[in-house]
C-alpha cells in the first residue's frame, strides 16, 4: 500500500510518523482544558470530542470521545472501529469536501499534553522473545539449560500491576527493595542498584471474552499496539522471584507510548512467526501471519547529554505473537476485558546490539556498554533518559508510535519520611 495523501500537508512526508495511513488514537489536553480523545495526523491532533460535537462523526447515541480514554470506543466493537477509521480517512484525505469543517478542529501537536490513552484494566507481561529468554537463561542457568522446558510449548507470562502503567514522559523513581548480595548472610532494604529497561510492544485487548478463544478470535479482539518499557529492578527480582515470579521488581512503573496504533494501520506489515522447533499444540497454532515488521530502537541519554542508540531490533523477532499470548491467556477460562494490556516480553534480536535490556547488553554487568559520550553503563543511573521508538516502513510512508520516554529520578532518601 502506498502513502495515502492528506490535505494536512505535514502528514505527507515519508518520514512523518502520523500519515493518513496511521491515524493513531491518543488522549490530549490543551492549557486549561480537560483531557479528551484525539487522533494524530501529521504535526496536528484532530480533537475528536469537537468533531463529534460538530456532528462530523456519528457512531453511537452517547459521546464516545469527550472522555479521557478510548475504552468506550473499544467497547463498541470491531464494526464501529472499522467505521471510525473509514470516516476519519474520508475526512482527512486530499480532496474531501469537509476540509473547511475539520480544519478548525486541528490542534498543533507541539501545543498539547499527552495522557494515558486508555484505562488499563489488567496488565500481563510475557516472556516470549527467544533471544531474550536464551540470553537471560544462559546467564542464570548456563547455555545448555537456557530455555525452560515449557518455553517452546507455550508463551510464559505473569500478571503485572495495572496501577503502575504510566504514559511516556512520566519520570520513574528508582525503587527501594529487599536486596540480598551473595557476600551477605542477610538481606537489606536499600535502593535498587541494578535498575533496567525492557523493550517491548504492548497489545491492547479491545473486546471482552469469557472462556477459551482461538488464536484467530484473539487476533480479532486486539484493538491496537503501543511501545512498552517494563522497568525492572534486577536485584530486587533476583531475591524475590523464586518460586512465584517477579513482583515488586516490576511494580515501580511500566511506560507506554502515548498513541494507540490500531491493528488496522499495521495490517500491511504482518509477517510470520519464526520456524517452530516443536509444533505448537492446535490451540496455539498461528492463524496466518501474526507478527508485524516494526523497527524498534532504544536510546539512552545521560542527564544533560546527548543520547546514544543502545539497541536496534524488530518486533518480528518474537516467538509468540500477541494473539497467541491472548489465546493462551484464556485457556483456563480466565475472563479478559476491554483495556487489558499484554506486554510482549523483551524483544531482542540475535546480534549483540539487538538486545532489548541492559541485563543482556552488559551481560549481567560484566561487559559495560560505552556510550557515545564516553561514559559506561551496566545498569541505569539517576538522570538517565530512555527513549523507545518504533516504525513500520511502508511504500513512501512510516507508521510511527510516538516516543516512549522516561527519566530515572533518584531514589527517595527515606521512603517512610512524611
The binding site for a second copy (CB under 8 A) comprises 121-122, 127, 148-150, 153-154, 156-164, 173, 175-178, 180, 186-189, 211-214, 233, 236, 239-249, 251-253, 278, 281-283, 328-329, 331-337, 412, 415-416
Nearest distance from C-beta of residue 10 to a second copy, angstroms = 37
- Please, which residues bridge with residue 325 across strands? none
Residue among 202 and 390 whose Cβ is closer to a second copy: 202
Please indicate whether residue 132 is annotated as part of the active site.
Answer: yes
Nearest distance from C-beta of residue 278 to a second copy, angstroms = 7
Nearest distance from C-beta of residue 357 to a second copy, angstroms = 15
Give CA–CA dist 19/293, Å, rounded. Answer: 18
Give CA–CA dist 310/158, Å, rounded. Answer: 27
The three grid cell numbers given for residue 1, joined into one nine-digit string = 500500500
Instruction: Supply the Cα-derived Rg of the chain in whole angstroms.
Output: 21
DSSP string, 336-405: B-TT-EEE------SSGGG-SSHHHHTTTTTS-EE-TTS-EESS--TT-EEEEEEEEE-BS-EEE---EE
Half-sphere exposure of 58 (CA within 13 A, CB side): 4
Residue among 241 and 363 whose Cβ is closer to a second copy: 241
Nearest distance from C-beta of residue 213 to a second copy, angstroms = 8
Nearest distance from C-beta of residue 136 to a second copy, angstroms = 9
Q: Burial level of 279, CB count in 10 A (0-12/13-18/19+)?
A: exposed
Residue among 309 and 331 whose Cβ is closer to a second copy: 331
3 state DSSP class of 86:
helix
Residue among 79 and 332 whose Cβ is closer to a second copy: 332
Residue among 145 and 370 whose Cβ is closer to a second copy: 145
Residue among 215 and 226 whose Cβ is closer to a second copy: 215
Ramachandran angles phi, psi of 379, nearest 5°: -135, -175
The three grid cell numbers given for residue 410, joined into one nine-digit string = 533518584
Distance of CA 351 to the CA centre of its chain: 22
Nearest distance from C-beta of residue 63 to a second copy, angstroms = 22
Which sign, positive or negative, has the C-alpha torsion 23, 204, 296, 130?
negative
Nearest distance from C-beta of residue 171 to a second copy, angstroms = 12
Residue among 31 and 144 whose Cβ is closer to a second copy: 144
How close are the terminal C-alpha atoms of the chain, in Å?
Answer: 57
Give CA–CA dist 168/229, Å, rounded. Answer: 9
Residue in 115, 132, 328, 329 annotated catalytic? 132
C-beta of residue 52 within 8 angstroms of C-beta of residue 66:
yes
Please identify every residue annotated as catalytic: 132
Amino acid at each position: 500500500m502506498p502513502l495515502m495523501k492528506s490535505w494536512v500537508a505535514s502528514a505527507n512526508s515519508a518520514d512523518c510518523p502520523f500519515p493518513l495511513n496511521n491515524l493513531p488514537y491518543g488522549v490530549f489536553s490543551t492549557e486549561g482544558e480537560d483531557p479528551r480523545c484525539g487522533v494524530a495526523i501529521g504535526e496536528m491532533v484532530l480533537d475528536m470530542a469537537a468533531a463529534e460535537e460538530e456532528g462530523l462523526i456519528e457512531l453511537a447515541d452517547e459521546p464516545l470521545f469527550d472522555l479521557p480514554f478510548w475504552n468506550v470506543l473499544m467497547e463498541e466493537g470491531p464494526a464501529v472501529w472499522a467505521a471510525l477509521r473509514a470516516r476519519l480517512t474520508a475526512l482527512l484525505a486530499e480532496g474531501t469536501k469537509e476540509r473547511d469543517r475539520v480544519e478548525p478542529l486541528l490542534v498543533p501537536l507541539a501545543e498539547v499534553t499527552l495522557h494515558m490513552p486508555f484505562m488499563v484494566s489488567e496488565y500481563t507481561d510475557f516472556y516470549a522473545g527467544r533471544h531474550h529468554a536464551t540470553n537471560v537463561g544462559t546467564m542464570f542457568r548456563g547455555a545448555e539449560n537456557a530455555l525452560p522446558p515449557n518455553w517452546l510449548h507455550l508463551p510464559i507470562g505473569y500478571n503485572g500491576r495495572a496501577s503502575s502503567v504510566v504514559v511516556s514522559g512520566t519520570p520513574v523513581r528508582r525503587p527501594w527493595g529487599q536486596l540480598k548480595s551473595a557476600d551477605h548472610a542477610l538481606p537489606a532494604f536499600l535502593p535498587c542498584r541494578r535498575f533496567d529497561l525492557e523493550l517491548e510492544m504492548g497489545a491492547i485487548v479491545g473486546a471482552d471474552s469469557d472462556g477459551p478463544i482461538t488464536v484467530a478470535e484473539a487476533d480479532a479482539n486486539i484493538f491496537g499496539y503501543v511501545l512498552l518499557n517494563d522497568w525492572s529492578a534486577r536485584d530486587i527480582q533476583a531475591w524475590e522471584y523464586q518460586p512465584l515470579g517477579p513482583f515488586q521488581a516490576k511494580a515501580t512503573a511500566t511506560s507506554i507510548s502515548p498513541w494507540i496504533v490500531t491493528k488496522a494501520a499495521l495490517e500491511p506489515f504482518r509477517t510470520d512467526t519464526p520456524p517452530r522447533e516443536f509444533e505448537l499444540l492446535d490451540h496455539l497454532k498461528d492463524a496466518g501471519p501474526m507478527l508485524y515488521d516494526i523497527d524498534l530502537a532504544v536510546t539512552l541519554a545521560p542527564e544533560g547529554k546527548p543520547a546514544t542508540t543502545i539497541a536496534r531490533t524488530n518486533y518480528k523477532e518474537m516467538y509468540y505473537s500477541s494473539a497467541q499470548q491472548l489465546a493462551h491467556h484464556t485457556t483456563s477460562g480466565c475472563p479478559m476485558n476491554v483495556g487489558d494490556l499484554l506486554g510482549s516480553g523483551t524483544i531482542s534480536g540475535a546480534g549483540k546490539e539487538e538486545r532489548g535490556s541492559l541485563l543482556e547488553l552488559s551481560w549481567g554487568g560484566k561487559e559495560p556498554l560505552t556510550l557515545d559520550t564516553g561514559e559506561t553503563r551496566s545498569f541505569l543511573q539517576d538522570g538517565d533518559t530512555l527513549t523507545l521508538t518504533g516504525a513500520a516502513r511502508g511504500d513512501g510512508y512510516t507508521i510511527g508510535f510516538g516516543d516512549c520516554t522516561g527519566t530515572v529520578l533518584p531514589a527517595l532518601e527515606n521512603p517512610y519520611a512524611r
